[in-house]
Structure 1
Amino acid sequence: MAQIEIYTTSTCRYCHAAKRLLTQKGASFAETDVGRNPDKKTEMIQRANGRRTVPQIFIKGEHVGGYDDLSALERAGKLDNLLA
């Protein structure tokens, strides 16, 4: 399975949806809560090309985007290949 990193906050419904989708796919991920670790938010913004919202998702070190982007990959049938 691919290495997955996700930046989240505990109150973000899109973060919960992204984690649920990844879990349904059987994918494990490393989660960083930027609400609890504000110093990590700067890291997230830099890695996500200036995007400030959560979630921000990285698969195999590549920025995928947020939940809408992850969901679009799933609808297009491309997520499974990315996770392999």
Structure 2
Amino acid sequence: MLRLLTITMALFAVAAGELSKTKEDKTLKDLEDKIVNDIITHKVMVYSKTYCPWSKRLKVILANYEIDDMKIVELDRSNQTEEMQEILKKYSGRTTVPQLFISGKFVGGHDETKAIEEKGELRPMLEKAHALFTNRVPVPDNGA
């Protein structure tokens, strides 16, 4: 009887562990889906940390442009910072911040963005993504 109880408890523990793992996997999958959706949906997507000097510098660079659709996620304000950084690694190859995506493509961090800007390539990249207010398609005025 004691042996049966021990086996039953062991099976229950294994089952509970598997359920917990499944729930954790689902949560991570949901988080990854959210990150991917943000990267694809927003013309300019930035992953940053509020205290990071490189993140601050990247945001200063981007502030020089009238960006129409930009989302900034401050990873240090999340309770899933490490998980988010591991997910981002799949799409950028790195866990460090800042990370800049334009039109769903990883551009780089501060240093890469600064180099692109210094070569005069950042504005054209943002224009090609239709990410600037200045190159929005005008809406015809129907006299309304």
**TM-score (structure 1 length as normaliser):** 0.87
**Seq. identity, %:** 27
Structure 2: runs of 5+ lacking an equivalent: 1-41, 128-144
Following the alignment from structure 1 to structure 2, what is the Cα–Cα distance between the partners of residues 29 and 14? Answer: 18
Higher RCO structure, 1 or 2 (CA under 8 Å, sep 6+): 1
Give the aligned CA root-mean-square deviation in angstroms. 1.5
Structure 1: runs of 5+ lacking an equivalent: none
Aligned length: 82
Q: Secondary structure at the match of 2:97?
A: coil
CA deviation profile, 1:3-38 (whole Å, cap 9, x unmatched): 100110110011111111111112252111111221
Following the alignment from structure 1 to structure 2, what is the Cα–Cα distance between the partners of residues 41 and 30? Answer: 17
**TM-score (structure 2 length as normaliser):** 0.53
Following the alignment from structure 2 to structure 1, what is the Cα–Cα distance between the partners of residues 72 and 88? Answer: 12
Runs of 4 or more consecutive aligned structure 1 residues displaced over 6 Å after TM superposition: none
Q: How does 1:6-45 map to 2 (within 5 A)?
A: 6-27=46-67, 28-37=69-78, 38=81, 39-45=83-89
Q: Which has the higher strand share?
A: 1
